[in-house]
Structure 1
Amino acid sequence: MNDKYIIYFISRTKANMIKFIENRLKENKLDDLIPTHGNILTALYESDKKLTMKEIATKIGKDKSTVTSLVNKLIDLGYVEKEKCTKDKRVTYIGLTQKAHDIEDRFNYISSQVKQTAYKNFTEEEKAEFLRLLKKLSSNFKNAK
């Protein structure tokens, strides 16, 4: 097997997915958002409650500083808001604004398009195997010294 192109195809796939999402955001008049904002909005939509930065970072697998930067941009755009915990002022909660709730249907539609496109012509067994292999590949890099 010629495996020298695996990393190339992973990189190209990521670039193509990002372009696909950017196009769908633009088509749905959500071009103020970028694809990485989707992870944070998804975490908040799915939790149906306010989350701390740490909780968001854990849910989306990003470090807290990256999440802070993305959340601050979402605050500037009016999609999320910060709220200090009344019991512990060191804790800040992030919650969805009405603007975020207003776009939820369009957001979910784009997410479903991404999944449909990604898994087109995949059997359930192929999807499961693909996920298993991606997790294995990710783990290899995570555990590398």
Structure 2
Amino acid sequence: MNDKYIIYFISRTKANMIKFIENKLKENKLNDLIPTHGNILTALYESEKSLTMKEIAKKIGKDKSTVTSLVNKLADLGYVKKQKCEKDKRVTYIVLTNKAREIEDTFNFISSQVKETAYSDFTDEEKKEFLRLLRKLSTNFKNANN
């Protein structure tokens, strides 16, 4: 088996997926958002409550500095706002705004298009196996980095 192109195909797949999402955002007049904002919005939509930066970082598997940068941009764009915790002023909660709530259906539609495209022509068994293998690959690199 010729497996020397694994990094190439992973990289190309990621680039193609990002381009697909960018196109869908533009088609739906969400030009101010970028694909990486989707992780933050998804975490907040799914939680149905406010989250701290630390909680968001853990949910999406990114470091806190990356999350802070993305959240700051979303706040500047009016999709989220920051609220200080009443009990502990060191803690900041991230809350969805009405602007974010207004695009939730469109956002979910784009997300479903991404999944439909990704799994086009996959059987249910192939989806399960593919996800299992991706998790295994991810774990291998995570373990190697620790």
- C-alpha deviation, 1:97, in angstroms: 0.3
Q: Provide the secondary structure at the position in 1 that maps to 2:99.
A: helix
- C-alpha deviation, 1:143, in angstroms: 1.1
Residues 17-73 of structure 1, C-alpha deviations (whole Å, 9 max, x = no match): 000000000000001000000000000000000000000000000000000000000
Q: Which residue of 1 aligns with 2:91?
A: 91
Is 1:21 the counterpart of 2:24? The answer is no
CA distance in 1 between counterparts of 2:14 and 2:59 reads 20
CA distance in 2 between counterparts of 1:49 and 1:42 reads 12
Unaligned runs of 5+ in 2: none
Q: Which residue of 2 aligns with 1:111?
A: 111
TM-score where L is the length of structure 2: 0.98
Residues 53-102 of structure 1, C-alpha deviations (whole Å, 9 max, x = no match): 00000000000000000000000000000000001111100000000001
Q: Which residue of 2 aligns with 1:9?
A: 9
CA RMSD of aligned residues (A): 0.6
Q: Which residue of 1 aligns with 2:137?
A: 137
Q: Which residue of 1 aligns with 2:34?
A: 34
CA distance in 2 between counterparts of 1:31 and 1:11 reads 24
Unaligned runs of 5+ in 1: none
CA distance in 1 between counterparts of 2:55 and 2:111 reads 22
Structure 2: which amino acid aligns with 1:73? K
TM-score where L is the length of structure 1: 0.99
Q: Which residue of 2 aligns with 1:78?
A: 78
CA distance in 2 between counterparts of 1:142 and 1:17 reads 22
How many residue pairs get aligned? The number is: 145
